[in-house]
Chain A
Amino acid sequence: MKTFGKSLAVALGAALLLAPAVSSAAEIVVKHAQGETTLPGVPSKVLVLDIPSLDTLDALGVDVAGVPGSNLPPYLSKYADEKYTKVGTLFEPDYEAVNAAGADLMIIGGRSAAKYPDLSGMLPTIDMTIDPAAYTDNVKANVVKLGEVFGKQAEATELTARLDAKLTALKGLAADAGTAMILVTTGGKVGAYGPASRVGWLHKEMGFKPVADDIDDRFHGGDVVSFEYILEANPDWIFVIDRDAAVGQVAEGQAAKQILDNELVAQTNAWKNGHVVYLDPASAYIVSSGYNAINTLVDQVSEAVSAAK
């Protein structure tokens, strides 16, 4: 009896001690590219510098308070509205604006990942940078992660399932579509993008056969190639990223078409059969790993390849 009372007391004491922990059961621990961040609850005022995350939050139906002040893709142009605080460029946070916003979460990634140390000292920050080695899995994982942070688990499950179905369908199409080449055009010049590039998952994960396995992906403009190279590689498909259009310099598709439309490229199987796909520039170059962006790209490619069957 005495021992029971004692253990009851201990249990009660323990319960009291544990109470604060229990009351903070709503705490959310987010594992991200640069560590772990603990949030006291579902964040209500969110700043986003990572365009892919903004894109995914948009798909999840999460409202944000702050967005990048530049390079918003056309389909996310509603965020250019004044009611969204502009918290910097894709690369540089505007620390004054971030500080003044009084937000309870900052989401960075990719181009802004290097600013993590500064930002995490100011407010809870998570880095949603994608690991290109498992691209589409990472995109889905990020959808799930953001779904958990904002209590949108059901939506996240639905979105990832929908994307999964599309990816599986595209894999089936890609297997016997022949060789494909990803080209990037900028300032009148052409470069080749390889499996490690922004849309390299088309090769690595969807299974489009690359024309060469030694393309160097360290450069913005791709590996410099001549039109002769494209002629010799003779791809069955050409996926074009118009960099100038992506950064808003020229009208979409115009510049890329002008550069590629010449007598050498015209002899490739891809050009002859009309298998040149001008990828949505903003989705392919600026956003790339956001949910809407990857859906747009998968739809574009699937549509073109299945139409060719």
Chain B
Amino acid sequence: MKLLSAAIALTIGLAIVSLFIGASDVSLSTLLSGQDRAVQVLLASRIPRTLALMLAGSSMAIAGMIMQMLVRNRFVEPSTAGTVESASMGLLVATLVAPGMPVFGKMLVAALFALAGTALFLRILRQVKMRDVLIVPLIGIMFSGVISAITTFFAYRFDLLQSLLAWTTGDFSGVLRGRYELLWIGFVLTIFAYIAADRFTVAGMGRDFTVNLGVNYRRVVSLGLGIVSLGTAVVVVTVGMIPFLGLIVPNVVSIMFGDNMRKSVPWVAVMGASFVLLCDIVGRVIRQPYEIPIGVVVGVVGSGIFLYLLLRRRANVA
């Protein structure tokens, strides 16, 4: 508990740093001297961006954790199981069919596609006999590849390749008051995840075990799928894709505290938030006042940590 308080304090610290970084001059002195512009930038741009970072970071990390429980594999997350790719496909379809659709509508379409894609992935997994640790993510990556190939094909045919890239690269530079609020849905989903944490923990031990305990396995899986798909869709639609996050954070938490989800939900949420805050701060500082999209920063840092986890696991297995 003490440790968790420290982690929360660290996140708050990063959030405060995030509030004071940007192209405009927002500092304690400009704020205290009552400069209208500093106050306005803080309210219109800095606070929304910082909140968006924390919300997106925690929802993606939670989505990753639930996914790993459902699939019973540590190397799966929304971007290696076709969820993110399916959401992007939904976004493309919505753009092609109804370009003028409001963002909320696009998000629902993306969420439906994400749901269908993830369900299909789970179905495919059920057919696989040999469930080696590395087979599952491998299937996930191939499945993601197939979906993104279809999406890319249609984007290519309709000259939307570069637009697709612009949507799917995670980037918080466009976040303003009034343009990120959908992410609060992710916050609500995190609370759901916390409430249902024990069920997910049980489901994570396998179908038979779950049924033996009298828990409705199908219902738990559906709930998990819903949280994962909706959470992913909200993030993809508002800020784009943040790769590896759902993989790294739950793994690190699991190494530190084991697999009791009730215990780990707050940790995953807090660490997801601080990891994203940190990466975005880095992206904003390197070339101030220009920005490096967070998708790029997380991609670089994340692939390094992913490799480390993979090699570490292999060493343990061997």
* Contact assessment for B166 and A229 in the assembled complex, using a CB-CB cutoff below 8 Å: no
* Contact assessment for A190 and B174 in the assembled complex, using a CB-CB cutoff below 8 Å: yes
| Known A190-B174, A231-B24, A263-B44: A247·B292 in contact at CB below 8 Å | no
Judge if A224 is at the interface, Cβ distance under 8 Å. yes
CA–CA, A226 and B159, complex, Å: 26
Shortest Cβ gap from A80 to chain B (Å): 14
Shortest Cβ gap from A32 to chain B (Å): 27
Chain A residues whose CB sits within 8 angstroms of the CB of B162 once the complex forms: 186, 220-221, 243, 247
Which of B100, B163, B176 meets A264, CB within 8 Å?
Answer: B176
| Known A225-B291, A226-B22, A250-B99: A264·B44 in contact at CB below 8 Å | yes
Q: Which of A192, A243, A263 has the most CB of B within 10 A?
A: A263
Mask, B96-125, CB within 8 Å of A = 1, is 000110000000000000000000000000
Chain B residues whose CB sits within 8 angstroms of the CB of A23 once the complex forms: none
Judge if B194 is at the interface, Cβ distance under 8 Å. no
Shortest Cβ gap from A258 to chain B (Å): 10
Judge if A188 is at the interface, Cβ distance under 8 Å. yes
Report the contact-size class of chain A (Cβ under 8 Å from the partner): 20 to 34
CA–CA, A99 and B191, complex, Å: 63
CA–CA, A259 and B174, complex, Å: 8
Which of B22, B99, B159, B176 meets A70, CB within 8 Å?
Answer: B159
Chain A residues whose CB sits within 8 angstroms of the CB of B20 once the complex forms: none
Q: Which of B22, B40, B163, B178 has the most CB of A within 10 A?
A: B163
Mask, B137-152, CB within 8 Å of A = 1, is 0000000000000000
Chain B residues whose CB sits within 8 angstroms of the CB of A215 once the complex forms: 290
Chain A residues whose CB sits within 8 angstroms of the CB of B44 once the complex forms: 262-264
**Which residues of A (257-295) have their CB < 8 Å from a CB of B?**
259, 262-264, 267
- Chain A residue with the shortest CB-CB distance to B41: A228
* Contact assessment for B171 and A232 in the assembled complex, using a CB-CB cutoff below 8 Å: no
| Known A216-B290, A227-B45: A186·B163 in contact at CB below 8 Å | yes
Q: Which of B41, B178, B290 has the most CB of A within 10 A?
A: B290
Shortest Cβ gap from A101 to chain B (Å): 23
* Contact assessment for A189 and B23 in the assembled complex, using a CB-CB cutoff below 8 Å: no
Which of B24, B160, B293 meets A249, CB within 8 Å?
Answer: B160
CA–CA, A286 and B1, complex, Å: 58
**Which residues of B (272-318) have their CB < 8 Å from a CB of A?**
289-293
* Contact assessment for A247 and B176 in the assembled complex, using a CB-CB cutoff below 8 Å: no
* Contact assessment for B23 and A229 in the assembled complex, using a CB-CB cutoff below 8 Å: yes
Number of A-B pairs, beta carbon distance below 8 Å: 94
* Contact assessment for A225 and B289 in the assembled complex, using a CB-CB cutoff below 8 Å: yes
- Chain A residue with the shortest CB-CB distance to B36: A267
| Known A224-B171, A225-B173, A264-B41: A248·B159 in contact at CB below 8 Å | yes
Which of B22, B41, B174 meets A189, CB within 8 Å?
Answer: B174
CA–CA, A302 and B72, complex, Å: 64
Judge if A71 is at the interface, Cβ distance under 8 Å. yes
* Contact assessment for A264 and B174 in the assembled complex, using a CB-CB cutoff below 8 Å: no
Judge if A74 is at the interface, Cβ distance under 8 Å. no
Shortest Cβ gap from B178 to chain A (Å): 8
**Which residues of A (176-234) have their CB < 8 Å from a CB of B?**
186-190, 192, 214-216, 220-221, 223-229, 231-232
Chain B residues whose CB sits within 8 angstroms of the CB of A225 once the complex forms: 23, 173, 289-291
* Contact assessment for B159 and A188 in the assembled complex, using a CB-CB cutoff below 8 Å: no
**Which residues of A (110-129) have their CB < 8 Å from a CB of B?**
none
* Contact assessment for B290 and A224 in the assembled complex, using a CB-CB cutoff below 8 Å: yes
Mask, B7-40, CB within 8 Å of A = 1, is 0000000000000001111000000000001001
Chain A residues whose CB sits within 8 angstroms of the CB of B163 once the complex forms: 186-187, 243-244, 247, 249
* Contact assessment for B99 and A249 in the assembled complex, using a CB-CB cutoff below 8 Å: yes
* Contact assessment for B41 and A231 in the assembled complex, using a CB-CB cutoff below 8 Å: yes
Chain B residues whose CB sits within 8 angstroms of the CB of A248 once the complex forms: 159
CA–CA, A18 and B12, complex, Å: 88
Chain B residues whose CB sits within 8 angstroms of the CB of A223 once the complex forms: 290
Query: Beyond the given A231-B23, A247-B163, A264-B41, could you list 13 further A-B residue pairs with CB under 8 A, ordered by the A residue number?
Result: A71-B159, A186-B162, A186-B166, A188-B166, A188-B174, A221-B166, A224-B292, A226-B22, A226-B291, A227-B176, A231-B37, A247-B159, A263-B177
List the 8 closest A-B pairs by CB distance, nearest first.
A187-B166, A229-B23, A228-B23, A228-B24, A224-B291, A226-B173, A187-B167, A186-B166
**B contacts, CB < 8 Å to A:** 22-25, 37, 40-41, 44-45, 95, 99-100, 159-160, 162-163, 166-167, 171, 173-174, 176-179, 289-293
